[in-house]
C-alpha cells in the first residue's frame, strides 16, 4: 500500500513536469518578434525570413532578442577618431583630428584650414562630416592691386651755388604702383609690380637789371676768374633740380593662410638726377653748369607682408623689403661760359647699393573680391650717385671727372590702393 502511494505520487509529478516543458516549447515556437536574424541558430531551428525572429517569454513578460554587435557602448561613443593618416573617417559622435601629413603633394603643399573665411580656405571635413583626405584645396586665384603713392624725396645734399638765393625742398608727388599676382594652390605663387615714374623738381630764379647777382663758384687752377665771368655781377640767374625714380620687379611668393606672405625675387630700380645752373650778365653772355647722373640698380630682394585682423572686415598690416644691388652709374658734368666749354667730364662706375622699404597700413574688405587700403611707407636707398655730389664750389678741370657713389636718399609718403581678387 505504501509502495503503491509512492509510485502514484511520482507519476503525477512527472506528468506535471512534462506538461510544463511542452507548454514552454510551444510558446517558443509560436512567438514572433522583430530582431536580428543572425540569432536564429540559437534556438536549434531555422528562423523566419526577413526581420522576424524569436523572443523569450517568462510568465507574462516578453523579452526581445537583439544582436549586441549592432549597438555602440558608451566607451565607443566617446572615442576619439584620428583621421590624419586614414583615407576615410566619420565625424559623427567623435572628435576629429586632421593632419597635413596626409596631403602628400596632392594639394600643392596646402591643406584647408578649419576656417572657411578669408584667411585660409576650407575645412578638411565637409558639412556631412566626411573627411576629404587633405581637405578641399583653395581655389586658384589672381589679384590685381592699383595704388596711388604720394611720396616726397629727401636728399642729403642740396645744390645751391648762387650767392643771392637758394633752392627749397622737393614737394610730394603722385605716381601709380601696379601689382599683378597669382596663387594657384593657396601657398605658392608669384607677383610682378611696377611703380613710377615719380618725378620731383624744384627751381628758383632771380632777376636784377642793375646786376649784382653773384655766385659761390670760385676758380681753382688752372681755371681762372675769366672762365666764370658770366656767373658774377649777373642780371639773371636760375637754378633747377630734378629727380626721377621708377622700378619694376618680379617675385616668387609663399603665402600662409592669407595673413603672411614671404617673397623673394629680382628687381630693377632707375634713379636719375639733373642739376642746372643758368646765368646771364649785362652784356647778354650766358653761363651754364650741368650735373647729370643716372643710376641703374639690378639686384635681388626679399620681403614680407603681414596681416593682422582687428575686426570682421578690417586689418592692419606690415610691409618690409630689403635687397642688395649692383649700381651701374654714369655722370656727365659740364660748365660753359660765354660760349666756351670750360669743363666737360663723363665717368661711369659700378658700386654695391642697398634698398630698404618699410610700411604699415589699414585695409578693409568689401566682400571677397574688393579690398581697400591706406598706409604710410619709407624707402631708403644707399650707394647712389647724386647730381649735387659731383660738383663743388671750387671749379677745376677735374670737376666731375671721377663719379662719386656714396650718397643716399629717403623717400617717404602715403599710399592708397584697391585690390581685386578673382
SS (H, E, C) the chain: CHHHHHHHHHHHHHHHHHHHHHHHHHHHHHCCEECCHHHHHHHCCCCCCCCEECEEEECCEEEECCCHHHCCCHHHHCCEEECCCCCCCECCCCEEECCHHHCCCCCCCCCCCCCCCCCCCCCCECCCCEECCCCCCCCCEEEEEEEEEEEEEEECCCCCCECCCCCCCCCCEEEEEEEEEEECCCCEEEEEEEEEEEEEEEEEEEECCCCCECECCEECCCCCHHHHHHHCCECEEEEEEEEEEEEEEEEEEEEECCCEEEEEEEEEEEEEEEEEEEEECCCCCEEEEEEEEEEEEEEEEEEEEEEEECCCCEEEEEEEEEEEEEEEEEEEEEEEECCEEEEEEEEEEEEEEEEEEEEEEEEEEECCCEEEEEEEEEEEEEEECCCHHHCCCEECCCCCCCCCCCEEEEEEEEEEEEEEEC
pTM above 0.75, yes or no: no
Between the alpha carbon of residue 42 and those of residues 37, 38, 66, 240, the distances in Å are: 10, 9, 12, 109
* CB contact at 8 A, 182 and 420: no
Top-confidence residue, 20 or 181: 181
The predicted structure's pLDDT at residue 157: 65
Top-confidence residue, 373 or 5: 373
pLDDT tens, position by position, 24-35: 444 444 444 433
d(CA 323, CA 351): 14
In this predicted structure, the answer to whether residue 245 has a pLDDT above a threshold of 50 is: yes
Owner of C-alpha cell 607682408: 305
**Mean pLDDT throughout 254-261?**
87
Count of Cβ atoms closer than 10 Å to residue 97 Cβ: 12
CA atoms within 13 A on the CB side of 44: 3
d(CA 45, CA 25): 12
Top-confidence residue, 383 or 118: 383
The predicted structure's pLDDT at residue 57: 73
In the chain the domains, ranked by start, together with CATH numbers, are 2-64 (no CATH), 78-137 (no CATH), 141-421 (2.40.128.100)
pLDDT tens, position by position, 116-146: 333 333 333 344 444 344 444 578 999 999 9
In this predicted structure, the answer to whether residue 397 has a pLDDT above a threshold of 80 is: yes
Would strands 95-97 and 80-82 be described as parallel, antiparallel, or unpaired? parallel
pLDDT tens, position by position, 191-228: 999 999 999 999 999 999 999 999 999 999 899 999 99
pLDDT tens, position by position, 40-95: 444 444 444 444 556 677 767 777 776 666 666 655 555 544 444 444 444 444 44
Nearest to 359 by CA among 177, 217, 171, 235: 177
Amino acid at each position: 500500500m505504501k509502495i503503491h502511494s509512492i509510485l502514484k505520487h511520482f507519476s503525477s509529478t512527472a506528468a506535471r513536469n512534462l506538461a510544463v516543458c511542452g507548454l514552454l516549447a510551444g510558446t517558443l515556437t509560436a512567438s514572433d518578434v522583430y530582431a536580428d536574424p543572425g540569432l536564429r541558430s540559437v534556438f536549434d531551428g531555422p528562423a523566419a525570413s526577413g526581420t522576424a525572429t524569436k523572443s523569450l517569454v517568462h510568465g507574462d513578460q516578453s523579452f526581445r532578442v537583439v544582436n549586441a554587435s549592432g549597438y555602440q557602448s558608451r566607451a565607443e561613443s566617446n572615442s576619439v577618431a584620428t583621421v590624419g593618416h586614414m583615407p576615410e573617417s566619420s565625424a559623427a559622435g567623435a572628435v576629429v583630428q586632421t593632419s597635413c601629413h596626409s596631403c602628400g603633394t596632392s594639394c600643392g603643399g596646402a591643406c584647408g584650414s578649419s576656417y572657411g573665411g578669408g584667411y585660409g580656405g576650407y575645412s578638411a571635413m565637409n558639412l556631412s562630416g566626411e573627411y576629404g583626405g587633405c581637405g578641399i584645396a583653395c581655389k586658384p586665384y589672381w589679384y590685381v592691386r592699383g595704388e596711388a603713392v604720394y611720396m616726397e624725396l629727401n636728399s642729403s645734399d642740396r645744390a645751391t651755388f648762387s650767392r643771392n638765393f637758394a633752392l627749397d625742398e622737393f614737394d610730394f608727388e603722385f605716381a601709380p604702383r601696379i601689382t599683378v599676382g597669382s596663387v594657384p594652390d593657396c601657398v605658392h605663387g608669384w607677383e610682378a609690380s611696377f611703380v613710377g615714374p615719380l618725378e620731383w623738381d624744384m627751381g628758383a630764379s632771380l632777376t636784377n637789371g642793375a646786376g649784382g647777382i653773384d655766385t659761390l663758384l670760385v676758380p681753382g687752377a688752372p681755371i681762372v676768374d675769366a672762365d666764370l665771368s658770366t656767373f658774377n655781377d649777373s642780371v639773371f640767374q636760375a637754378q633747377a633740380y630734378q629727380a626721377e625714380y621708377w622700378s619694376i620687379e618680379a617675385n616668387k611668393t609663399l603665402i600662409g593662410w592669407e595673413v603672411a606672405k614671404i617673397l623673394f625675387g629680382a628687381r630693377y630700380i632707375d634713379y636719375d638726377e639733373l642739376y642746372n645752373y643758368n646765368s646771364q650778365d649785362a652784356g647778354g653772355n650766358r653761363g651754364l653748369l650741368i650735373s647729370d647722373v643716372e643710376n641703374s640698380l639690378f639686384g635681388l630682394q626679399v620681403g614680407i607682408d603681414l596681416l593682422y585682423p582687428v575686426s570682421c572686415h578690417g586689418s592692419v598690416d606690415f610691409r618690409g623689403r630689403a635687397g642688395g644691388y649692383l649700381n651701374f652709374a654714369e655722370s656727365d658734368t659740364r660748365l660753359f661760359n660765354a660760349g666756351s666749354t670750360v669743363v666737360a667730364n663723363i665717368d661711369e662706375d659700378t658700386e654695391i647699393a642697398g634698398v630698404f622699404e618699410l610700411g604699415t597700413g589699414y585695409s578693409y574688405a568689401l566682400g571677397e573680391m574688393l579690398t581697400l587700403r591706406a598706409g604710410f611707407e619709407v624707402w631708403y636707398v644707399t650707394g647712389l650717385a647724386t647730381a649735387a655730389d659731383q660738383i663743388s664750389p671750387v671749379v677745376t678741370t677735374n670737376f666731375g671727372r671721377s663719379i662719386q657713389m656714396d650718397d643716399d636718399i629717403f623717400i617717404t609718403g602715403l599710399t592708397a590702393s584697391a585690390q581685386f581678387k578673382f
